Amino acid sequence: MEAILGVINKILALGASVIMPIVICIMELIFGMKPKNAIRSGLTVGIGFVGVNLAVGLIGGNLGNLIAALQDKYHLALSITDVGWPAGSSIAFGSGTFVVISILVFMLVNAVSVLLKLTNTLNIDIFNYWHHILIGTMSWFVSGSMVVGVIVGAVFMLINTILADKHEETFVDYGGERWRGLSFPSQGIPLQMYFVRGVNWVLDRIPVIRDINFNFGKLPGIFSFLGEPMILGFLLGGIFSLAVGYAWDKALSVAVSMAAAMYILPRMVSIMMEGLSPLTDVARDFMNKKFAGRKLNISIDTALLVGDPDVITMGVIMVPVVLGLAFILPGNKFLPFTDLPALPYWVIPAVYGTKHNSFRALISATLCMAISLYIATDLAPLITQMATNVGFEFAQGTTISGFFAGWEWPGYILHKIVELIF
C-alpha cells in the first residue's frame, strides 16, 4: 500500500504533462475508446503541455526581463507578465483529478439544468470548460477545498450558460439564421453583453454623442499584417527592448524571440487540442444521444465570431489603446502582450453589443479593457500560484496573469465571495 501511495504521489508531483495523459487516457477508455487511440491522444495532450511550458518559458525569459527593465528604468508599476489565454487554458486543464471531476460535474449540472428548463443549451464545447474550470481552481486554492472549487466552477458555468441564452437574437441579427441554435457561454461574453448594453443606454442619453454611428470598415491590409502574432511580437519586442536601452543587436534578438513565442505558443495549444479532440467528440456524442429529440442550442467556441471583419478591425485598433491604458491607469500592474493578437476575441461583446457601431464599440471596449486590467492585476498572484502548481516554471519573482482571468467578471465576483467566506 505504502509503495502504491508513494508512486501516486510521485506522479502527482510530476505535473500536468504526466498527469493529463494518464487522466485523459483513462477517461477515454471508460467512454469506450480503443486503447491505441486513447494512449495516443492522451500522450498528445501531455506533449501539448510540455510544448506550452517551453513557449511560456520563452515568453517569461524575454518579456519578464523587459518588464523588470521597464520597471527599473521608468519606475513603472507594470510588473506582471501576460502569458496569454492559450497558457490560461493549459493552467486550467493542468490539475488532473480536479479537471476530471469538474468536467463530469459540469456535464451533470448542464444536463440537469436542461431538464429543469433553466437553459436550452447543451454545453458540448468541452474544450471551453477550461474557463469554468479556471474559476473553480481559483476558489479551490483560496478555500483549500476541491469541493468548493468544483461547485463554484459549476455555478459559474450555469450563470454563463443561462445568460448566454439571452443573446441568441443579437448574434442571429447580425450573422443570420446560420447562427441560430448557437450559444457562446465563454470569454466573458454573457455578462459583458449586458454591460455594453448599459453603456449604450447611457450614451443614448447624451445629445450629439448618441447620434454618432459609423463603422471603421475594413482596415488597409497593412494593419492586419501588423496585427499578426509574429509581427506584433517582433515589433513590440523590438520597441520595448530599445525603450529600455538594449543595444540594437540585443533588441533584434529579443524581437525574434518574442515573435517566436507568439507564433509557437498557439501551435502548442493546438497540439494539446488535438489530443483532447477525441474525448470532446465522444463526450459530445454521449450528450447528444441522451437528449435526442429536444430542440436545443449548443455551446460553441467564440472563434466562430472572430472572422467578422469588424471584430478583427476593432481588435487591431485596440492594441495601442489597451497598451496606453496599461501605462496610464493608476494601480494597474498588468502589461498586455501575449494576448494582443487575441484582442479580437475580447472585443466581441463591444462590437455585437453596440450593433457594429464602431464609435460606441470603441468606447465600450476601452471601458471593458480598463476593468479587466485591474482584475487581471488583482488575480495575478493567485494565477501564478496555480501555474506553478501544474508545473510551469518561472524565474524567481515573476508574476503572471492574463485577460482570461481579467475578463470573467462573474467568476471574479464569485471568487471574491469565496475569499470572504474563507
Task: Enumerate binding residues for other proteins (CB under 8 A).
Answer: 86, 89, 124-125, 127-128, 175, 178, 218, 224, 227-228, 266, 269-271, 273-274, 276-278, 280-281, 284-285, 288, 298, 300-309, 312, 342, 344-345
Q: How far is the CB of 271 from other proteins (least distance, A)?
A: 8
CA distances from 328 to 315, 322, 341, 346, 420 (A): 20, 10, 21, 20, 30
- Of 86 and 136, which CB lies nearer to other proteins in the complex structure? 86
Q: How far is the CB of 411 from other proteins (least distance, A)?
A: 19
Q: How far is the CB of 62 from other proteins (least distance, A)?
A: 21
**CA geometry: angle at 52 spanning 49 and 55, to 5°?**
155
DSSP string over 203-223: HHTSTTGGG------PPPHHH
Q: How far is the CB of 312 from other proteins (least distance, A)?
A: 6
CA distance 233 to 410: 31
CA distances from 100 to 92, 107, 146 (A): 11, 11, 12
- Of 39 and 252, which CB lies nearer to other proteins in the complex structure? 39
Q: How far is the CB of 278 from other proteins (least distance, A)?
A: 7
Q: How far is the CB of 231 from other proteins (least distance, A)?
A: 10
CB atoms within 10 A of CB 115: 10
**CA geometry: angle at 301 spanning 295 and 305, to 5°?**
100
Q: How far is the CB of 106 from other proteins (least distance, A)?
A: 17
Q: How far is the CB of 270 from other proteins (least distance, A)?
A: 4
What are the residues whose beta carbons fall under 8 Å from the beta carbon of 256, sequence distance 6 or more? 234, 237
- Of 19 and 262, which CB lies nearer to other proteins in the complex structure? 262
What are the residues whose beta carbons fall under 8 Å from the beta carbon of 324, sequence distance 6 or more? none
**CA geometry: angle at 273 spanning 270 and 279, to 5°?**
165
- Of 124 and 157, which CB lies nearer to other proteins in the complex structure? 124
* Closest residue by Cα to residue 408 from 106, 93, 153: 153
Give the DSSP H or E segment for 99: helix 96-115
What are the residues whose beta carbons fall under 8 Å from the beta carbon of 316, sequence distance 6 or more? 219, 223, 224, 226, 227, 343, 344
Q: Is the dihedral of CA 348, 354, 357, 360 positive or negative?
A: negative
Q: How far is the CB of 408 from other proteins (least distance, A)?
A: 17
- Of 15 and 227, which CB lies nearer to other proteins in the complex structure? 227
- Of 339 and 378, which CB lies nearer to other proteins in the complex structure? 339
Bridge partners of residue 400, in order along the sequence: 81
Q: How far is the CB of 75 from other proteins (least distance, A)?
A: 35
* Owner of C-alpha cell 460553441: 300
154 with 109: CB under 8 angstroms? yes
- Of 302 and 364, which CB lies nearer to other proteins in the complex structure? 302
- Of 165 and 274, which CB lies nearer to other proteins in the complex structure? 274
- Of 81 and 186, which CB lies nearer to other proteins in the complex structure? 186
Identity of the residue numbered 42: G
- Of 333 and 356, which CB lies nearer to other proteins in the complex structure? 356
Region at 331 (left for phi over 0; alpha for psi -120 to 50; beta for the rest) = left
